[in-house]
Amino acid sequence: MRLPMLKPASTRLLPDAPLLLARVIGLPPASVPRLAERLAALGGLPGLQVAGAEGVGGGALTRRELRRLERVLALVRAFAESAPLPARVSEARDVAAYFRARLGALPVESFWVLMLDARARPIGLECIAQGTLTACLVHPREVFAPALRRRAAQVVLVHNHPSGDPEPSPEDLELTDRLVDAGVLLGIPVADHVVVARNGYRSLAPPCGPHPSRHL
């Protein structure tokens, strides 16, 4: 299965986002500039999701408005997390759309393995490790153990970048090579490694399918 490199989607704060949010929570128009400043300081809407309503603080909202905002954020989180994976994973964007809603705004790195059958249908999903703001220790044994238990035909690796930048680091590329090599030995190829972040995602899939001697 080939998962092509795709351009990241933009998650920049829309110009009218503060105004729309102010209307939803009943904030007077005069308070919109102050809300916009707080959103910008938090890193936009993704940052607001991480910080929660209290992250706005600073006198920008009353207690009643904060409660309304928290209810809105809870609804947004519930809606985002209800989006399922497609019945067949055929493109990197399928994986990115699912995981960005769950991992894109996390404050620490988290590494997951998505297990697929021979027809690229999801048969399992497991969090392998959680780390710090900039690192997450992953061993091939932990990655492929659940894939062996599920009798997966292939796997897709996923992790997030809390910095918001989805560009892979040298460590990401090195880890991908190690896991591709392990997958070849075990007969469970790595179909892709997708990095998700607030500002988009990157697919590390090779142009001609997994190969143990290439950077993906």
pLDDT value at position 8?
Answer: 35
Residue 73 token pair: 């954020």
Architecture of domain 86-203: 3-Layer(aba) Sandwich (3.40)
What is the structure's pLDDT at 58? Answer: 59
The pLDDT averaged over each successive group of 10 residues in the chain (216 residues) is: 36 60 82 81 66 71 83 73 78 89 82 95 90 70 94 96 92 93 96 93 70 35
DSSP letter assigned to residue 59 = T
What pLDDT does residue 107 have?
80
Give me the amino acid identity at 29: P
Note the pLDDT of residue 92: 92
Reported in sequence order, the residue ranges of 27-136 that DSSP labels E, i.e. its strands, are: 110-116, 122-130
pLDDT number for residue 54: 75
DSSP string, 133-200: SS-----HHHHHHHHHHTT-SEEEEEEE-TTS--PPPHHHHHHHHHHHHHHHHHT--EEEEEEEETTE
Q: What is the pLDDT of residue 53?
A: 77
